[in-house]
Amino acid sequence: MGNQLDRITHLNYSELPTGDPSGLEKDELRVGVAYFFSDEEEEVDDRTPSDCGFTKDHSPVEEGPFSLSEVEYSAFCSQECIFSKLRENEDLNVYSAKTLLTMCKPGDLLELVATAQAPHWVIYQHEDQIIHLHKGEIRRDSLLEISNGRHGRIVNNRYRFRPLPSDLVMQNASGHLGLRSEEICWTNSESFAAWCRFGKREFKSGGEAHSAEQQYFLKVHLSGSGVHTLVFRSLEDMIRERRRVDASGILKELSMVNGSKD
């Protein structure tokens, strides 16, 4: 079964607006990234709701929907768009956990967001139960409890891969319950949840053979600073860097130093 899941290929989707099908523009800054950052599985922490980036006009108690100020991305493998988080193409509104539960069905990918923190991804199971990678363990928890005041959204279409049937998604997730750090081959909650839904080994740590022919291009859309393109050798590397940018915002400082603008 595992080999069959790994052979699932991308769908052919129309490219996002870009002058070059590889996702690179000639006047953009290209940053080669060949380094690793520490894993960030302490994403769901004990922050108070006021620490999550919600203003007095957007209290975490509110049902939503409303929007947050977020970095937007699109990503490409060779000439194919494989990931998109662009407000022009997607509803990025977020909702309270209570409201989100009324919108979910088993096997859905959910993303919990907070300012200056990497998003936390989970698989919705049923009622208020979710399965996720948290603090080095695959576990089942209550969404209402682990959200800790954060808002979230359904992100089934964030990755442009063909999803597995919902029963296989749940089989992937529940079949790994109880695994701990030394047994886990995913570096963060997003990689685990995405693997459950799409079954692609590229989401696993070391699950992808590096080759000179295959490169990943991450386009980071920074408000007022243009678009920056980063180059990676694996999907795992790209996910780690994008999540680091979400948590630290360090690419904003880099853009000012280099002065790269469209």
What's the pLDDT tens digit per position in 203-222? 998 877 766 678 999 999 87
Q: What is the pLDDT of residue 33?
A: 37
Closest by alpha carbon to 236, among 191, 199, 200, 197? Answer: 191
User: Which tops the pLDDT comparison, 106 or 13?
Assistant: 106
- Whether the per-residue pLDDT at 122 is higher than 90: the answer is yes
- Split into its structural domains, the chain has a count of 1
- The tokens of 106 are what? 């088993």
- Whether the per-residue pLDDT at 236 is higher than 90: the answer is yes
Using DSSP bridges, classify how beta strands 80-85 and 72-77 pair: parallel, antiparallel or unpaired: antiparallel
pLDDT in tens, 17-71: 333 333 333 333 334 333 333 344 445 544 444 444 433 344 445 566 888 888 8
pLDDT in tens, 68-110: 888 899 999 988 999 999 988 888 999 999 999 999 999 999 9
167 occurs within a structural domain: yes
- pLDDT bin (cut points 50, 70, 90) of residue 227 is confident
Q: What is the pLDDT of residue 19?
A: 31
Cis upstream peptide for 65 (omega within 30°): yes
Task: Report percent pLDDT > 70 for the chain.
Answer: 68
232 occurs within a structural domain: yes
Q: Which residue has the tokens 């936390």?
A: 120
Q: Taking a C-beta distance cutoff of 8 angstroms, is the pair 232, 243 a contact?
A: no
**Domain limits for position 166:** 66-248
77 occurs within a structural domain: yes
CATH number of 84's domain: 3.90.1720.10
Q: How many separate helices (H) and strands (E) can be counted in the chain?
A: 7, 11
19 occurs within a structural domain: no
Q: What is the pLDDT of residue 69?
A: 82
Q: What is the pLDDT of residue 78?
A: 83
50 occurs within a structural domain: no
Is the C-alpha dihedral spanning 87, 119, 245, 159 positive or negative? negative
What's CA 155's distance to the chain center, in Å? 8
Is the C-alpha dihedral spanning 239, 241, 244, 248 positive or negative? negative
Tell me whether residue 126 is exposed, middle or buried, using C-beta atoms within 10 angstroms of its C-beta: 0 to 12, 13 to 18, 19 or more: exposed
User: Which tops the pLDDT comparison, 250 or 135?
Assistant: 135
49 occurs within a structural domain: no
Q: What is the DSSP code (8-state) at residue 94? A: B
2 occurs within a structural domain: no
- The tokens of 186 are what? 């995913």
Closest by alpha carbon to 215, among 19, 31, 15? Answer: 31
What is the spatial distance between Cα 253 and Cα 261, in angstroms, rounded to a whole number? Answer: 13
